[in-house]
């Protein structure tokens, strides 16, 4: 059951209820033991019923509660999270506070917090590299968080629809992959796009330009995902 949040309330982390229950049971603890551990170590009053509610997926812990729960269960916050999707979730998985992450990547805390809240990336290449290293970001996530995924989509679209050879170098500037690998992926995407357009026009001799256009647009809409899949760099 999805957990509802009130308007204006920060989005809660993607909590892995099953992992929380499994870790508690492995320690021979009851929800009451966990609740006491949260209070004793972090000073947070938490009812055993609340812990049970988290484990049943009826509710989920806030960021502070997640950190406290991880402490009570002798695990990292990342072990209690589902697959991260946002910058904040990648940070939470490592148990880092915003100010600590900002310091480690050489960014002002206020600038980082704006980024995490959905602002545009204002950092430089050195900071982007540090962000990827500290948070262990896969390449697709790094480009998404630093606002370069739209540029990649533009380049891939042009490579698929025109001469792919002309886009090997521009793509390589965005994506630090071997040139030969980029060449192979772009050539494959170009060939598949052209084949899609041709096949649509030739379906039983009854294909139309409109049908071909729809098939082509559908292919291009997913071209970034397809690029990462073929490059072997998908997000978890």
Report yes or no on 12 lying in a domain.
no
Q: How many structural domains does the chain have?
A: 3
Same domain, 100 and 31: no
Q: DSSP per residue over 121-159, as a string?
A: P---HHHHHHHHHHHT--HHHHHHHTT-HHHHHHHHHHH
Report the SS3 class of residue 198: helix
Model confidence, pTM: 0.73
> How high is the pLDDT of residue 207?
52
Tell me the HSE value of 164 on the side-chain side, using a 13 A CA sphere: 15
Write the CA distances from 226 to 32, 124, 143, 186, integer angstroms.
47, 27, 15, 10
Report yes or no on 74 lying in a domain.
yes
Same domain, 36 and 109: no
Query: Among residues 101, 123, 146, which one ends one of the domains?
Result: 146
The sign of the torsion formed by the CA atoms of 70, 42, 63, 122 equals negative
> How high is the pLDDT of residue 23?
95
> Which residues make beta-bridge pairs with 195?
none
| pLDDT tens digit sequence for 160-177 | 999 999 999 999 999 989
Report yes or no on 11 lying in a domain.
no
> How high is the pLDDT of residue 8?
46
> How high is the pLDDT of residue 6?
42
> How high is the pLDDT of residue 14?
83
Nearest Cα to Cα of residue 137 among 93, 178, 95? 93
Same domain, 51 and 93: no
> How high is the pLDDT of residue 1?
40
Q: For residues 233 and 30, which has the higher predicted lDDT (pLDDT)?
A: 30
* Mean of pLDDT values over 178-189: 96
Same domain, 72 and 91: no
> How high is the pLDDT of residue 4?
43
Same domain, 161 and 228: yes
DSSP state of 78: G
Q: How confident is the model at residue 126 (pLDDT cuts 50, 70, 90)?
A: very high
Write out the residue range of the structural domain in which residue 107 sits: 87-146
Report yes or no on 5 lying in a domain.
no
Same domain, 164 and 224: yes
Q: Helix 223-231 to helix 209-221 angle, to the nearest 10 degrees?
A: 50
> How high is the pLDDT of residue 129?
93
Query: Among residues 80, 115, 133, which one ends one of the domains?
Result: 80
Same domain, 156 and 224: yes
> How high is the pLDDT of residue 82?
81
The two tokens of residue 43 are 């000073």
| pLDDT tens digit sequence for 34-72 | 999 999 988 999 999 999 999 999 999 988 899 899 999
Give the position of tokens 């002309």.
166
Query: Among residues 146, 164, 187, which one ends one of the domains?
Result: 146
Report yes or no on 41 lying in a domain.
yes
Report yes or no on 177 lying in a domain.
yes
Same domain, 49 and 95: no
Question: Is residue 120 within 8 Å of 147, Cβ to Cβ?
Answer: yes
Question: If phi over 0 gives left and psi between -120 and 50 gives alpha, with beta otherwise, what is residue 163?
Answer: beta
Report yes or no on 8 lying in a domain.
no
Same domain, 166 and 220: yes
| pLDDT tens digit sequence for 78-125 | 899 888 889 999 998 888 899 999 999 999 999 999 999 989 999 999
Q: In angstroms, rounded to a whole number, what is the distance separating the alpha carbons of residues 17 and 3? A: 12
Q: What is the CATH number of the domain that holds 75?
A: 1.10.260.40
| pLDDT tens digit sequence for 193-219 | 999 888 766 554 455 666 667 888 999
The C-alpha angle 213, 217, 223, rounded to 5 degrees, equals 145
Q: Is 168 exposed, middle or buried (0-12, 13-18, 19+ CB in 10 A)?
A: middle
């Amino acid at each position: 059951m999805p957990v509802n949040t009130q308007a204006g309330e920060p989005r809660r982390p993607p909590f892995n209820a099953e992992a929380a229950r499994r870790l508690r049971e492995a320690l021979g603890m009851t929800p009451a033991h966990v609740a006491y551990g949260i209070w004793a170590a972090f000073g947070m009053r938490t009812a055993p019923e609340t812990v049970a509610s988290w484990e049943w997926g009826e509710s989920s812990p806030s960021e502070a509660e997640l950190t406290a729960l991880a402490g009570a269960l002798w695990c990292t916050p990342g072990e209690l999270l589902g697959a991260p999707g946002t910058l904040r979730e990648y940070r939470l998985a490592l148990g880092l506070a915003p100010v600590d992450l900002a310091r480690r990547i050489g960014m002002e805390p206020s600038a980082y917090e704006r980024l995490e809240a959905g602002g545009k990336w204002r950092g430089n290449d050195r900071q982007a590299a540090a962000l990827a290293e500290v948070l262990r970001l896969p390449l697709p996530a790094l480009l998404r968080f630093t606002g370069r995924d739209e540029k990649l989509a533009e380049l891939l679209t042009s490579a698929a629809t025109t001469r792919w050879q002309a886009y090997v170098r521009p793509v390589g500037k965005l994506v630090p992959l071997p040139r030969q690998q980029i060449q192979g992926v772009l050539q494959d995407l170009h060939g598949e796009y052209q084949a899609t357009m041709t096949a649509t026009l030739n379906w039983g001799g009854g294909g139309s330009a409109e049908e071909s256009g729809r098939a082509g647009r559908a292919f291009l809409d997913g071209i970034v995902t397809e690029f990462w899949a073929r490059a072997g760099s998908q997000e978890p």
